[in-house]
Amino acid sequence: MHDVTDPRRRALLQTASAATMLAIGGAAHAQPLKETSTMHAFESATTLKPLTFDPAKLNGLSERLIRSHWENNYGGSVKALAVVKKSLAEALANKDTPAFIYNELKREHLLRTGSVVYHEYYFDNLGGSGKAGANERKAIAAGFGSFDTWETEFRRIGAGLGGGSGWAVLGFNTHTRQLENYWLADHAHGPAATLPILVLDMYEHSYQMDYGAAAARYIDAFFNNIQWDAVARRIEAAQRVSQI
């Protein structure tokens, strides 16, 4: 373990942390970086994935909430991920970058990647009627004993995250070949070898604007707007993987 009480090491940590946060907040003022093979390896998209539904037509989730969530929270992570990747390229090209400083950037890389990916799954499984089709119900029931058992547990995980942060995820584990519900404390806690099937954002920014601290009401609204066609496509993809 690194001794952060050492003045020189502490100063390096503080300088790197400040530089990273400054870069994330002011990427537009950064100087152009010379194109290199290292930069190519760390390229990142900066375009937000468009919503697949009309946010004005959701049942119980306001357009204002959805647009703010998409633009500010998801969008902020997309932009931050691009900056972190650029910083990684610069740090890797510099032979004097200490390993522990580099790993601080890799931690940000992990968190920002998780945020982008889970937000995109989340928005893509919204915009539906909330009514699961027969095939989805059958597949989920096969994994949990009944569809109701799955829903009870999924809702309970979400409720337990209310007032805090994290994600509730129905996923197909390609190692155990099981459909399971997972509790994620943050963007870095993705379950191993798992394909997301249904993703529920339980960070307060996903519901506070509409529901304040009433997380249970938000979960009800989420279920009323699940796009089960998207879930069905994910289940089909997972079933193909399970046959390999």
Q: What is the pLDDT of residues 167-192, one digit of tens each?
A: 999 999 999 999 999 999 999 988 99
Whether 86 and 46 have beta carbons less than 8 Å apart is answered as: no
Report pLDDT digits (tens) over 140-154.
Answer: 999 999 999 999 999
DSSP 55: G
Residue 97's pLDDT is what? 98
| Number of Cβ within a 10 Å radius of residue 68 | 16
- Per-residue burial over 6-42, b if 16 or more Cβ lie within 10 Å, else e, is eeeeeebbeebeeebeebbeeeeeeeeeeeeeebeeb
Among the residue ranges 39-48, 80-89, 93-102, 166-175, the one predicted with the least confidence is: 39-48
Residue 27's pLDDT is what? 36
The domain 134-242 having CATH identifier 3.40.50.150: the answer here is no
Mean pLDDT of the region 32-54: 71
Q: Which residues pair with 194 in a beta bridge?
A: 173
Length of the chain: 244
**Cα(50)–Cα(126) distance, rounded to whole angstroms?**
13
Q: In terms of Cα–Cα distance, which of 127, 107, 120, 104 is closest to 45?
A: 120
Q: Per the confidence metrics, is the pTM higher than 0.85?
A: no
**Cα(102)–Cα(95) distance, rounded to whole angstroms?**
11
The residues near 16 (Cβ < 8 Å, ≥ 6 apart) are 101, 104, 105
